[in-house]
Amino acid sequence: MAEPLVVALLGFGNVGSSVWQLIEERSRRLGWAAGRPITVRRALVRDPGKPRPVTPPPGFLTTDLDEVLSDPAVEAVVELMGGLEPADTYVRRALSAGKSVVTANKELISRDGPELLRLAREHGAQLRFEASVGAGIPIIRPIEEMLVANRITRVTGILNGTTNYIVSRMASAGATFREALAEAQELGYAEPDPSDDVEGRDTARKLAILASYAFGSWVSPDSVYTEGITALDPVDLGYAAQLGYAVRLVGTAIHREAGIEARVHPALVPQDHPLASVRGPANAIFVEGDPVGELMFYGLGAGGYATASAILGDLVQVARGSRPWRPEPRSGAEAAPVLPADAIHSAYYLRLEVADSPGTLAALAGAMARHGISLRQVLQMRAQEGRAEVVFVTHPAGEAEMRQARKEIEALPSVHRVASLLRYHDGTHGNPPRRSTGPSGTSA
């Protein structure tokens, strides 16, 4: 029998205990796939005395990282603490000790991926993080391996279950953001401090990891234009529904000639688009490639068991020790530039509070036209006490032009305020796949 892969867990909460249970329960099939047994020797925790839903054997829990790292039998470490510290230090120490690392930590990977991969390579270890995006949804390995022949041009989707639950509830129950957030917290879908989720940072991190692997060039989450859902008004969800759209927090990355466009913001999605049917805490990721066309991967985006599914797939991969299918994404000076927010090109939804007086609409339309923005739909809603609400839907326009037009509009005497500005989802759903080169195209 081949030598077992001995694993240590850093963290023994929801995910960690699921990983441990599954390795115990499914040892035969995991061992078959890995070509050798997989066993968990230890789990690092802060408080071994804390009551837990599962009871590991005596001596299993430890508070001493050195005990884990100095054990020569431990070949792989599963990091499930989350956050930057102490996870970052622990992962670096594990890799430097030649131990492979499997992690679900999107914050860490999106910030330090290139350096951690280099560290792994230098010490003959593997670093795997399938669970960091979309929990149990297979996405990183399909992009790396099964789609190896493809030039991926776009990744886009719903990458955060907490915000998707909140936005779905705001639409279905007419709830405000605060009300829907409180409900999500009660149900355990949102953390006590939900700011990383609701401000879009969690989505930006996952998008950055996806884009890095899809395009072969590291994208920093700091370079992703990021707008969360805290300012979403149920009024706009209602108008959007009237226009035939659902609103979702969508992350989109596009590989353009000039560089990578990457952004996270609430987006209007046609009601019959598959993204609109993603409700509650689910995630859905579109990948557009040449020659494969458009693919979608959908599933639960969080949870101990779903995350454990991906962790175990990665652990088997570590045990098999197979070589990578693609070069590491380029980083530093070799990376493709990430385009500034001004490069965004989108159709826009604007809601304005204006004076209900003659000439107002003409002035508004004129301001848009001066910046080359043409209108697709204009709705004039509820006029009361001399005020009207106007909703504009524009044809695709540049972000810079839109900002200029908005400034000009806000300066108009008949405009009370621009109550909201939302972008349309930039997807190509339903279009046939495109080839980027002709039948006699050249080079790889």
Of residues 304-323, those binding a second copy (CB under 8 A): 305-306, 308-310, 312-313, 316, 320, 322-323
Show the site string, 325-354: x = touches a second copy by CB under 8 A, - = not.
Answer: xxx---------------------------
Q: Which of 3, 50, 54, 387 binds a second copy (CB under 8 A)?
A: 54
Is 99 assigned a catalytic role?
no
- Which stretches of 41-85 are DSSP H helices? 65-69
Taking the complex as a whole, the smallest distance from the CB of residue 24 to a second copy amounts, in Å, to: 8
Question: Which region among 97-105, 119-127, 285-293, 412-420 touches a second copy (by CB under 8 A)?
Answer: 285-293
Distance CA 287, CA 302 (A): 20
Please identify, using beta-carbon distances, which residue of 243 and 361 lies nearer to a second copy.
243
Cβ atoms of 301 and 207 within 8 Å: the answer is: no
- Residue 384 binding a second copy, by CB under 8 A: no
With contact defined as beta carbons under 8 Å apart, do 268 and 425 qualify?
A: yes
From the list 50, 99, 106, 206, the catalytic residue is 206
Among 174, 291, 337, 340, the residue binding a second copy under the rule CB under 8 A is: 291
For 281, the 3-state DSSP assignment is coil
374 backbone φψ class: left, alpha, beta (φ>0; ψ -120 to 50) = beta
To the nearest 10 degrees (0 to 180), the angle between helices 161-173 and 234-242 is 70
137-176: which residues touch a second copy (CB under 8 A)?
137-138, 141-142, 145-150
Q: Tell me the window of 64-72, 86-94, 267-275, 416-424 that interacts with a second copy (CB under 8 A).
A: 267-275
| Residue 289 interacting with a second copy (CB under 8 A) | yes
Read off the tokens for 210: 């996806």
Shortest Å distance, C-beta 10 to a second copy? 19
Distance CA 266, CA 203 (A): 11
Site string for a second copy, 108-137 (x = CB under 8 A): ----------------------x-----xx
216 or 221, CB closer to a second copy?
216
Task: Output Rg (C-alpha) for the chain, integer angstroms.
Answer: 24
What's the min distance (Å) between Cβ of 111 and a second copy?
25
**Binding to a second copy by residue 62, rule CB under 8 A?**
no
Structure tokens at 264: 């996270």
Residues 6+ apart with CB under 8 A from 48: 61, 62, 63
3-state secondary structure of 19: helix
Contact 262, 338 (CB under 8 A): yes
Nearest by Cα to 204 from 163, 150, 256, 259: 163
* Ranges within 13-42 binding a second copy (CB under 8 A): 17-18, 21-22, 24-30, 32-33, 35
Active-site amino acid positions: 206
